[in-house]
Chains A and B, each alone.
Chain A
Amino acid sequence: MKQAARDQERIEQFTPPEGVPVNFVITSLGARLGAQCLDLLLTCLAVVVFAVILAWSNLLPSETEKMVIVLLAFILRVPYYILSELVWNGRTPGKRIVGVRVINVNGRRLTPHQVTARNLMKEVEFFTPLTMMFAAPFMSGWSIGLTLVWVLTILIAPLANRRRQRLGDMVAGTLVVDNPRTTLLPDLAVSLAPAGATSVAAFDFHPDHLNVYGRYELQTLEDVLRSPADGINAAETARIARTIIRRTGYDGPVPPGQERAFLIAFYRAQREHLEKLRLFGTSRENKHHLATPPAAGAPGAGKA
């Protein structure tokens, strides 16, 4: 329950003019740190590779060479982040690899000003403390203390707010969210039915059998059935099937070796039943619905 509440907290919801809210998952701090480190690594690598090529090709006089490299090292700091977020709409190469992106906090276009502001703050929040860390051995006591306070403030900021915004995000009004990934898995009720088409008919469920479980159990069963065939062994399947038979009071025969077919048939019947109930306004979250005030009686017979 607590976990669910916390998950809910990490969702940012926008309602477009169509009136259907869409959800974005706020990125974890670990993923953001990973993206940042990747970007740092990429830029450092770019500078080094460029320097080696310059030195090796001997194209420019050493004076100019040094100047070019210093300039490059500068450009690959803040300007790199600003430009890459502008060009790829909120995704630096590091963010692309990790699969996160920056979006506007009001859900509309990410403006150039926001990109600039959040990355300028990066200088204060990330690069300067990083530089100071290397300089720490040469600093006096109180300046180390001051730096620590600074770093702590920066670290606490994203931990202290629901949207995990760092200071730069707050100034710019931006959010970092997981880039949604879309894969359409086959519909279990369709794809698995033909395989055991003959045996599906063999299992008959009475409405009473289907009144026990709710949405949560159904979707857990869906996860079990979707896990690759070798991921879950026959004994496990049989155990789950037995539990379901015990709980629901199903009294038909389940021949040994047919447990998976039984589960698929049960999934289909249970889903049909719950979806039908939902259409009539009764949504069952989980198996505890019987403990709470009695749900409206199931209208009509189930599939029977």
Chain B
Amino acid sequence: MSTAAANSTDTPARADAAIQGDLLRSARFRMEREQHWRRLDALVTRAEKQGAASLSYDDARDLAAEYRQAMNSLSVARDISLDRALLAYLESLCSRAYLVVYAPQETLAGLTRRLLLHGIPQAVRRSALPLFIGFLALALGAVAGYRLFMDDPGWFYTFVPPDLADQRTPDASAAWLRSTIYGNEHHDADGLTTFASFLFSHNTRIAILIFALGVFLSVPAFALTFYNGLVLGAFFGMFARRGLGFDLFAWLSIHGVTELAAIAIACAGGARLGLAILLPGLRTRREALRHQAHDAVKLVILAGLMLIVAAFIEGFLRQLVQAPAWRLAIGWGTGALWAAWLLFAGRPAKAAVKTPARPSP
């Protein structure tokens, strides 16, 4: 600091000095440091509004220094000052500064990249048992639904909610059923795309529900997935009885591979939560829940992602692509891409394998 500058700032300070001599110790303490607190306040406010990334190098350095000084002031003020206004100010200023310094915010771009490249695939590879449970629930449900329907078609009305069946009942003729599979605009004129987006919204909600209910020992998650399997099995049985099994298989494959896998994965997420409660291992149950939730949440995000892709396939491609062979190819091709991503992405020190982060529908 130059002497001229020092003098110019000193003169009013000297004038204050006479008053200061008469001041309380705590008031002097405050007067000496108030400038710094206000500077910190300004920095913290800016970091809160625009994120810590908006601070320049100097600002960031100042933030750290001023933060430490303010913490020091708080510690001293708690001991020497009885001025409530001062204490309240320092308490709240330090709390805010603490959050800015120690609890900064994630950037959304980095987060997405990390999630897609390592987070999700690694979480999937760690969840073999829950995934097995999820797919098992779906498969068992499908087999049971199929067998029950074959015994007595009346089960169909028990399993399948009427809004989902959409006039496709066991009483419908084979020709009509066939037309729903190879439907065109003239047939399903009343809002197929709307129906698809409704289905997506519906499916996603079911997936979230399946996941969240997993907390209750994963039984509800298993049951809901099983029920979804039942619907699927009964549906399949209905078409198979009319000799349309293969056609339905192709029709379901194009989006179902992705969609049903998503449901099973959501169930796996729920199962992870349930397993944490059932088998906490060396942790307490709450700790185990928190630990397992990390991977469980990633599984659900994956399920959501897959449901979005499934909705796009369902909304656009299913009507465009009519040949069963193509439907099968697209459906299982998408499935293979998912599998490749989940199995190979984010493996350490295996630079050779690079799969696209997301299969394009």
Contacts and interface: CB of A to CB of B under 8 A. Distances in A.
A113 B298 contact: yes
Residue among B24, B26, B80, B196 with the highest chain A CB neighbour number at 10 A? B24
B95 A23 contact: yes
Given A109-B104, A116-B297, A66 B194 contact: yes
Interface SS, A side: helix
A180 B91 contact: yes
Interface stretch (A133-141, A185-193, A203-211): A185-193
Contacts of A71: 197, 200-201
A271 B83 contact: yes
B102 interface: yes
A171 B293 contact: yes
B289 interface: yes
A235 interface: no
A123 interface: yes
A24 B95 contact: yes
Nearest to B292: A171
Contact of A64 (B84, B102, B193): B193
Interface string A172-199: 1100000111111111111000000000
Interface in B1-33: 23-27, 30-31
A190 B27 contact: yes
B358 interface: no
A184 B25 CA distance: 18
B72 interface: yes
B82 interface: yes
A182 B96 contact: yes
A182 B194 CA distance: 50
A189 B103 contact: no
A38 interface: no
B207 to A, nearest CB: 10
Given A86-B111, A278-B79, A20 B71 contact: yes
A104 B301 contact: no
A187 B294 CA distance: 49
A111 B38 CA distance: 30
24 contacts: A16-B98, A63-B194, A66-B194, A67-B194, A71-B201, A74-B201, A74-B204, A86-B106, A87-B108, A88-B105, A104-B103, A109-B103, A120-B300, A121-B212, A123-B212, A124-B213, A171-B215, A173-B290, A180-B91, A180-B92, A182-B93, A189-B23, A275-B82, A278-B79
B335 interface: no
A226 interface: yes
Interface residues of A, number: 68
Contact of B23 (A112, A183, A190): A190
A185 B215 CA distance: 49
A299 to B, nearest CB: 15
* A-B interface, 3 closest residue pairs, ranked by CB to CB distance from nearest: A180-B92, A185-B85, A89-B105
A113 B85 CA distance: 38
Contacts of A181: 92
Contacts of A18: 68, 71-72
Contact of B297 (A64, A117, A278): A117
B75 interface: yes
Interface residues of B, number: 70
Contacts of A173: 290
B98 A22 contact: yes
Given A189-B27, A271-B26, 13 more contacts: A20-B74, A66-B197, A70-B194, A70-B197, A109-B103, A109-B105, A109-B106, A112-B106, A171-B273, A184-B38, A190-B27, A223-B84, A274-B82
Interface stretch (A1-9, A41-49, A214-222, A287-295): A214-222
A86 B107 CA distance: 8
A181 B80 CA distance: 23
Nearest to B196: A67
A103 interface: yes
Contact of B82 (A20, A180, A271): A271
A226 B83 CA distance: 12
Contact of B96 (A112, A180, A272): A180
A149 B152 CA distance: 36
A22 B74 CA distance: 9
A250 interface: no
Nearest to B30: A187
Contacts of B300: 116, 120
Interface in A1-37: 14, 16, 18-20, 22-24
A71 B200 CA distance: 8
B200 A171 contact: no
B180 interface: no
B82 A184 contact: no
A295 to B, nearest CB: 16
Contacts of A14: 98
B287 to A, nearest CB: 10
Nearest to B44: A182
B193 A63 contact: yes
B86 interface: yes
B209 interface: yes
A248 to B, nearest CB: 17
Given A226-B85, A268-B24, A113 B193 contact: no
